[in-house]
Amino acid sequence: MSVTAKAFQLWRSQVAPQDTVSDVCRVAGIKRSTLAQQLVRGKVSVQTVVAIARGYGIPPVDALAVYQGYEDLPAGIRPPTDAELVSQVSHIDILRLLVARSEDREEAGTDLHLDLAPFPHHNSVRAWIEAIDPGDLRQQLAASTGVARQNLSAQLTAGRLAPAIAVQAARIAGVSLTSGLVVTGLLTPEEGGWPEGGRSRALHALSDLDLVFLARDRLDVLGKQIRRTELDDGKDRALWENLG
């Protein structure tokens, strides 16, 4: 998703009134041609806004709040739920903890320390949506954003979610408005108000039974993805064989 070039230019003139477009791009670490193309199209990406904000030492959340659709972002920051935190733990780390707890050693099942892999992980977006879903999140998202459900499903399958839709999902679910921007990688955990060590704490708080069910669900999703990939590969091979 993007913001209007007019709104962006106004914001840019306030952030760096003496700097040229080339100066801004250099500070933000983005290509001048990229920004120029966006301005010509009349729409500047949210990623560009965040990059410029970081370059000038402005909290990205405050920068986004200038634009329509994001005005309530700063006031909507709150601690993520444990379900959200656990959703950002990869299936590999979940299995690692299960194995560690099952081993017959003194520290198993207590305060065992695991260095969790960074996130977002491959299924971060889908896992987050499932973690916050009150039961009809996809329906409400489609109705409130005008985006067809099949398009939402396509985004989730691809492991992405437009920023405005991610924020709207958080509004509907009643969670921190920055959470969706964190799990899509637009904001860092620190920028989105996620606590350091929060994922590890939430994961270790799960009982053995809950951990097993969580691993089962993650592996089920992974199995479906692998099956879909194999089917697609099979179709591609068949097409090439038919083409001779």
Amino acid in position 132: I
Share of the chain above pLDDT 70, in %: 91
Tens digits of residue pLDDT in 55-114: 999 999 999 999 999 999 999 999 999 999 999 999 999 999 999 888 755 444 455 678
Tens digits of residue pLDDT in 178-198: 999 999 999 999 999 999 999
Class of residue 187 by CB neighbours under 10 A (exposed 0-12, middle 13-18, buried 19+):
buried
Class of residue 109 by CB neighbours under 10 A (exposed 0-12, middle 13-18, buried 19+):
middle
For tokens 């405050």, name the residue.
62
Q: What SS3 state is found at 2?
A: strand
Class of residue 77 by CB neighbours under 10 A (exposed 0-12, middle 13-18, buried 19+):
middle
Predicted TM-score (pTM) of the model is 0.85
Q: What is the pLDDT of residue 106?
A: 45
Q: Average pLDDT of the chain?
A: 90
- 2-71 topology per CATH: 434 Repressor (Amino-terminal Domain) (1.10.260)
- Domain limits, the chain: 2-71, 82-220
